[in-house]
Amino acid sequence: MASPSIQRPSSSSTSHSQWSYDVFLSFRGEDTRKSFTDHLYSALIRNNIITFRDDEELPRGEEIAPELLKAIEESRIAIIVFSKTYAHSKWCLDELVKIMECKEEREQIVIPIFYNVDPSEVRKQTGICGEAFTRHEENADEERKEKIRKWRTAMEQAGNLAGHVAENRCFITISEDNTIDMHDLLMGKGIVDQECPNEPGERSRLWRHTDIYRVLKRNTGTEKIEGIFLDVDKSEQIQYTCKAFERMNRLRLLAVSHNRIQLPEDFVFSSNDLTCLS
């Protein structure tokens, strides 16, 4: 088995002791490895999201490798890239079953991406997904039929989850002035939001002005925050107190555009490894 791609920043953003990775990527290599999944993986890496991606491109055996099962169990979030031939892969389907088990048993967050495939085809196993299952069922014995039933159940469950529909490179757009914009998921924002949907002070990184304003004005920041990226170009000059930052002892990066944030002259950060950019 080839070595998997794993990105580990110098200070892990994983706060829960049971998690070794922030994200496990499940995908069909021949469909997306050198296109969509590669862009997604690279973007997660740039945003210091610890990501497990299997780099195996050789023919695989009948059973999923124990190392992959362990990586799935130890991932806080699983991203499933459903592509045209995802359901043709027994290996991918075994990954999917394990992911859905971890969702129920370990409260793993599951985010499906439907890449050039309709979510209803995944949910109902019709179209190209249906064709894949027809092939799986050919000459299947009772043991294989039971496995196929588990595959179908997992496909239906995943197809019913809220996810993202992607076609070609719609997650990456280029404006008229040649500025490249990436979908929030590629920037890792969607992943971070899932860490604590209702309380931004419990997330590892903050991007949105409304979330940052809320956390700093209400003093709800916690030790889980490692990065704050604040663009206040269109905002009034903002003043904050030392108390707003006092629990952020793992804060590593404070990036403020246009230098419109004011801190007291005697301001002291609780983090010893903080880098400030403006």
Higher pLDDT, 195 or 122: 122
- Is residue 99 packed enough to be buried (19+ CB in 10 Å), middle (13-18) or exposed (0-12)? buried
Say how many C-beta atoms besides its own lie within 10 A of residue 9's C-beta: 15
d(CA 90, CA 67): 16
pLDDT of residue 135: 96
pLDDT digits (tens, 9 = 90+) for 25-51: 999 988 888 888 888 888 888 777 889
Give the residue-averaged pLDDT of 187-199: 76
Mean pLDDT of 82-102: 95
Closest CA to 32 of 167, 183, 215: 167
Q: Over the stretch 95-115, which tens digit does the pLDDT of each residue have? A: 999 999 999 999 898 989 999
202 annotated active-site = no
Sorted by where each starts, the structural domains of the chain and their CATH numbers stand as: 5-166 (3.40.50.10140), 199-277 (no CATH)
Catalytic residue among 57, 62, 95, 121: 95
Averaged pLDDT score across all residues of the chain: 80
pLDDT digits (tens, 9 = 90+) for 227-245: 887 765 555 556 677 888 8
pLDDT for residue 47: 74
pLDDT over threshold 80, residue 83: yes
Q: Look up the pTM and report it.
A: 0.67
Whether 53 and 37 have beta carbons less than 8 Å apart is answered as yes
From first CA to last CA, the distance across the chain in angstroms is 45
- CA gap 237, 232 in Å, rounded: 8
